[in-house]
Amino acid sequence: MASIDITDIRKNYGAIPVLHGVDLTIRDGEFVVLVGPSGCGKSTLLRMIAGLEDITAGEIQIGGIRVNDLQPKDRDIAMVFQSYALYPHMTVAGNMSYSLRLRRAAKQVIAGKVASAAAILGLDTLLERRPRALSGGQRQRVAMGRAIVRAPKAFLFDEPLSNLDARLRETMRGEIKRLHQSLGATSIYVTHDQIEAMTLADRIVAMNAGLVQQVGSPLDLYDRPANLFVAGFIGSPAMNMLGGTYRAADAAFVAHDNSVVPLGRAYGCADGAAVTLGIRPEHVVVGGAGGHVTAPVDLVEPTGFGTILHLRALGTDLKAFTLERKTAQVGETTSVALPPDRLHLFDAAGSRLS
């Protein structure tokens, strides 16, 4: 186990910059999730830590040792690939033991480690099979097994679950978390799926366009998104974003249709400045007394778990999520309240206002 320190890491592919300076410290035993939309440079960063991509500028340390110029084999990390990358001509046992055989471990040691990893992952009966005779979920487990037979300094995961169907993904997500709880290994996990990020991470690193947007605990990012990108990326259904201006006189938000939302407190922002108001659908209060506005219901989406209502309010399509089933009908008009303590305000550049 070891900590990982990333200092001002940059990556160019030819003349095209992909990472614009990333700083990150991953503590010993921590589970960090890199999350962001496709193409934002998550895999590139992970592969640089693994030693599979050259580092254009900056420094990476693993366990306090600079690894910029070390070959992947000398970095003592394990990685689970999105494609699993199992060796097709080796059995499950062969796949899992390859790294140990390369290190010339004794036969009994190898057999013991493979057996215990197989037991943890439920692969005991499949050890003599070839990868092509396994299901997707079993292949995924073998890929995990290949990583855990060693005790590497860190585990790297590059979207390990995205080739599985939704049900299996949920199961494996739980298993990965359980595995981390028992092994306590330093882990970096890349995903574009914010649910995976929220459920797995000790800390989330939200990335966009080659830059770190916010680092924090899952609930930090959920409750206090640092900017519009994080606010929109984390949470499903996505946060409502309303364009308008800030009115300093009574600390209120004025929407484009001139309806007014009281903010409850003053924000550090000039009077009349263009701002964006954010509120999560689950925080929008529908019906009941004390609504700010009345709004016609446009669309009702029952999810079984709850209901998503689309309302025409504040000059936009405002989504509201409630756990109740018996809610408004399409065409009906209902009152809508935006509780001040649930509001997020962002300036024109997209940064959170305090």
C-alpha torsion 209→213→217→221, nearest 10: -100
Residue 134 binds other proteins (CB under 8 A): yes
Which residue is it, tokens 């484009």? 256
* CB contact set of 315 (below 8 Å; sequence gap of 6+): 242, 243, 244, 255, 256, 257, 259
Retrieve residue 325's tokens: 């089933």
Distances (CA, A) of 93 to 81, 99, 103: 18, 11, 16
Residue 130 binds other proteins (CB under 8 A): yes
Residue 12 binds other proteins (CB under 8 A): no
Quick one: which of 43, 99, 227, 327 contacts Mg ion (CB under 5 A)? 43
Q: How far is the CB of 207 from Mg ion (least distance, A)?
A: 11
Quick one: which of 3, 7, 17, 81 contacts other proteins (CB under 8 A)? 81
Residues between 24 and 63 with contacts to other proteins, criterion CB under 8 A: 50-52
Of 207, 227, 229, 232, which Cα lies nearest the Cα of 21? 207
Residue 191 binds Mg ion (CB under 5 A): no
Cβ(209)–Cβ(238) below 8 Å:
no
Quick one: which of 77, 126, 255, 336 contacts other proteins (CB under 8 A)? 77
Residues interacting with ligand ADP, by CB under 6 A?
13, 18, 36, 38-44
From the list Mg ion, ligand ADP, other proteins, none, pick the one residue 131 interacts with, judged by a Cβ distance below 5 to 8 Å according to partner type. Answer: other proteins
Of 154, 174, 190, which Cα lies nearest the Cα of 63? 154
Closer to other proteins by CB, 163 or 245: give it. 163
What is the Cα–Cα distance from 52 to 234, expressed in whole angstroms? 29
Closer to other proteins by CB, 70 or 254: give it. 70
Binding site for other proteins (CB under 8 A): 50-52, 71-73, 77-79, 81, 83-89, 98-99, 102-103, 130-136, 139, 146, 163
Residues in contact with Mg ion by CB under 5 A are 43
